[in-house]
Chain A
Amino acid sequence: MPQSHWNDRDVSLLELLDRALDKGVIVWGDLTLSVADVDLLYVGVRLLLTSVETAERTKRMSAATAELPSYTAS
């Protein structure tokens, strides 16, 4: 039986980026981030997510994703 190697927490955080960075109500104003800024941010945070986690980060991330139940495949 093939095993999944997804990390539930990373899946949730990536799902969050997919949503918060380019979905939701878009208000066009003088202060809106440019598409280029969003792309940079996306890449930067993604790189961070896949880097080695410190205990501090792990703790914060667990707290942040506690409300994101992941009924994730085994």
Chain B
Amino acid sequence: MSAEVLYFYAITRPHSGWDGTQLPQASILPAAPVATLAHNGLLAVVSAVPAALFEPSVLAERLRDAEWARERVLGHHQVLSELLVHHTVLPCAFCTLLDDAASVRDLLLARAPVFEAALDEVGGAHEWGVKISYERVALAEWVSREAPELAALREVVAKMAPGAAYLYRKKMHQAAEQHLPTAVEACIATVHATLASYARAAHSAPVPPQQVSDYDQQVAWSGAYLVAVEQRASFIDAVQQAMEAYAPRGLHVAVTGPWPPYHFAALKEGAPTDAAVALE
């Protein structure tokens, strides 16, 4: 293996105003400036990095150093953020490495139509991430007080003498707990449908509880939206309306962005073998 390999950040299509000189100042490593390799209108954004650091067996070991790993993740991100200003970007996964410039050229050549199609899809748009979390106690209170499903039970309790009502309140509490998932699901469905109507494409995924145990709140769901630049203001307005509508129920809607279109850069055809062949 040669002394250097290429850290591969992204495949891009330059905006028309780009003069070829504005390259990201950030990089994956302090002394590994960002360079571009052009081929047929596609631009691969790379940094030459020491093979001694990024060769697979060594890299796996280095990445166990969480602090080192985080610096690299942030470096990757900063490069992508800077690229996003001037280019349509297909972000590569963190630590995508190719042998040399010939490998990059072969890859661009072999898969040009796929990359072109993916760039067309994400052009003029950004990814936005939305998460919905809930606070169990606050949501259960809202369900007992307001949920239509518990209306009958509420009426019964309201008409009871104070002593008997105590037992029914316990029943109400249990019923509310049972209805929590329904209330969360209803919120997710409504918010996702609304936000998706402003997006060119959308992803929706429930968040497994074990992944989010360090939050005080329970994150229930995560969505990603590919939003055209001209729809951005409407999209953010819709998110803010959702925040305000659901906050009194103990349901929290949070949005981050604009991101490079990580969720929308998956390639339409992607058998591992043909990429591997292209890299030979």
Determine how close the nearest CB of chain B comes to the CB of A3; give it in whole angstroms.
9
Q: Is the CB of A44 within 8 A of B66?
A: yes
Q: Which residues of A contact B137 (CB under 8 A)?
A: 2
Q: In the complex, how many angstroms separate the beta carbon of B32 from the nearest chain A beta carbon?
A: 15
Choose, from B167-175, B194-202, B259-267, the stretch at the interface: B259-267
> Complex formed: what's the CA distance from A28 to B276 in Å?
6
Do A24 and B276 touch across chains, with their CB atoms under 8 A apart? Answer: no
Within 8 A of B (CB), among A5-55: 5-6, 11-12, 15-34, 37, 40-41, 44-50
Q: Does B93 contact A (CB under 8 A)?
A: yes
**Which A-chain residue is minimally distant from B74 (CB atoms)?**
A64
Question: Which residue of A24, A60, A69, A70 contacts B93 across the interface (Cβ within 8 Å)?
Answer: A24
Contact size range, B: 35 or more
- The reply to whether the CB of B229 lies closer than 8 angstroms to some CB of chain A is no
Q: Size band of the A side of the interface?
A: 35 or more
B272→A45 contact, CB < 8 A: no
CB-based contact A27/B107 at 8 Å: yes
Cβ contact within 8 Å between A68 and B257? yes
Report the bound CA distance from A10 to B76 in whole Å: 17
Could you tell me if A19 and B262 are in contact, using CB atoms closer than 8 angstroms? yes
Are B66 and A27 interface neighbours, CB within 8 A?
no
With A6-B217, A45-B73 as given contacts, are A31 and B66 in contact (CB-CB < 8 Å)? no
- Cβ-defined partner of A29 (8 Å) among B67, B97, B133, B135: B97
B254:A73 contact, CB within 8 angstroms: yes
Question: With an 8 A cutoff between CB atoms, is B33 at the interface?
Answer: no
Interface string of B52-75 (1 = CB under 8 A from A): 001110011001111101100110
Q: Which residues of A contact B (CB under 8 A)?
A: 1-2, 4-6, 11-12, 15-34, 37, 40-41, 44-50, 60-61, 64, 67-74
- Residues of B participating in the A interface, judged by any CB pair closer than 8 Å: 5, 8, 10-11, 54-56, 59-60, 63-67, 69-70, 73-74, 76-78, 81, 90-99, 103, 107, 118, 127, 129, 131, 133, 135, 137-138, 214-217, 222, 236, 239-240, 243, 247-248, 250, 252-260, 262-263, 265-267, 270, 272-273, 275-276, 279
29 A–B contacts from the bound complex (CB under 8 Å) = A4-B252, A15-B259, A16-B73, A16-B74, A20-B94, A21-B93, A23-B265, A25-B118, A25-B265, A26-B266, A26-B270, A27-B92, A30-B99, A32-B97, A33-B56, A33-B59, A33-B95, A41-B69, A41-B94, A44-B64, A48-B66, A60-B74, A67-B81, A69-B256, A70-B254, A71-B256, A73-B243, A73-B253, A74-B247
